[in-house]
Structure 1
Amino acid sequence: MADLFIDFAALSRVRHDMDGISDLLSRPVDAMRTRAAGATGHDGLRQRLQEFGDDWDYGIKQLGKYSAGCSEALENIRTQFEKLDQELASAFEDQA
């Protein structure tokens, strides 16, 4: 019979990382869109950098949305496994 083991600390770390993805990626995109675009004196290049930053901004927001959903799912997994673990422990105590 196989044992099932859930590493709750690892699950928590992954969830924390998922929560921070959007913030982590948004900063470089904002810098590219504003500072990099503003640093060039060429109007065409400035516009292209802003458009590129806007496109990436949309993608980053989508990643943030999906990573938030993933984080929520991981929290649900943790909650359900902890509940199951407690129920199993109670069942074993009742048998003793």
Structure 2
Amino acid sequence: MADIDIDLGRLSRTASTARTLKNEFDDAEGFADDIGELTGHDGLADKIEDFGNDWDVAREELRDGLASVADFMQAIHDTFIDLDDKMANPR
């Protein structure tokens, strides 16, 4: 039987990175509103807020995709850990 070499650390890091990026997208939602208020110019603030609002849908899709990638990578990692344990310690 052929050996399988899986970089479990890399899978775990990929899941962690995807989670971090997802959190960045979560945090970015209110950022445009905050920045708009800081400009001190109503017209510019409105444009910045409009831009942020236009990105809400795309940001949500990206955030959801990153959450899925994180979940998939973690599931692959956990499955290989479990499989390795079962193969090393058959009952």
CA contact (8 A) 2:26 2:63 kept: no
**Matched residue, 1:55:** 54
**CA–CA distance in structure 1, aligned partners of residues 67 and 15 of structure 2:** 9
**Equivalences for 1:4-15 in 2 at 5 Å?**
4-15=4-15
Does the 8 A contact of 2:19 with 2:70 survive in 1? Answer: yes
Partner secondary structure for residue 4 of structure 2? coil
* Alpha-carbon separation, structure 2, partners of 1:40 and 1:4: 59
Q: Distance in 2 between matches of 1:5 and 1:66?
A: 27
Matched letter for residue 77 of structure 1 = I
Tell me the equivalent position of 1:17: 17
Distance 1:48 1:85 in 2: 54
Inter-partner Cα distance in structure 2 for 1:60 and 1:52: 12
Contact 2:18 2:70 in 1 (8 A): yes
**SS of 2:3 mapped into structure 1:** coil
Aligned residues: 90
Higher helix proportion, which one? 1
**Tell me, which stretches of 5 or more residues in structure 1 are unaligned?**
none
C-alpha RMSD of matched pairs (Å): 2.4
Percent of aligned positions with the same letter in both sequences? Answer: 23
Change (3 A) 1:42 1:20: same
**AA of the residue aligned to 2:69:** C
- Write the mapping of 1:44-83 to structure 2, written as runs, cut at 5 A: 45-83=44-82
TM-score by length of 2: 0.74
Deviations 1:26-50 (CA, angstroms, capped at 9, x unpaired): 4455333332x2214252x332211
Unaligned runs of 5+ in 2: none
Rg comparison, structure with higher value: 1
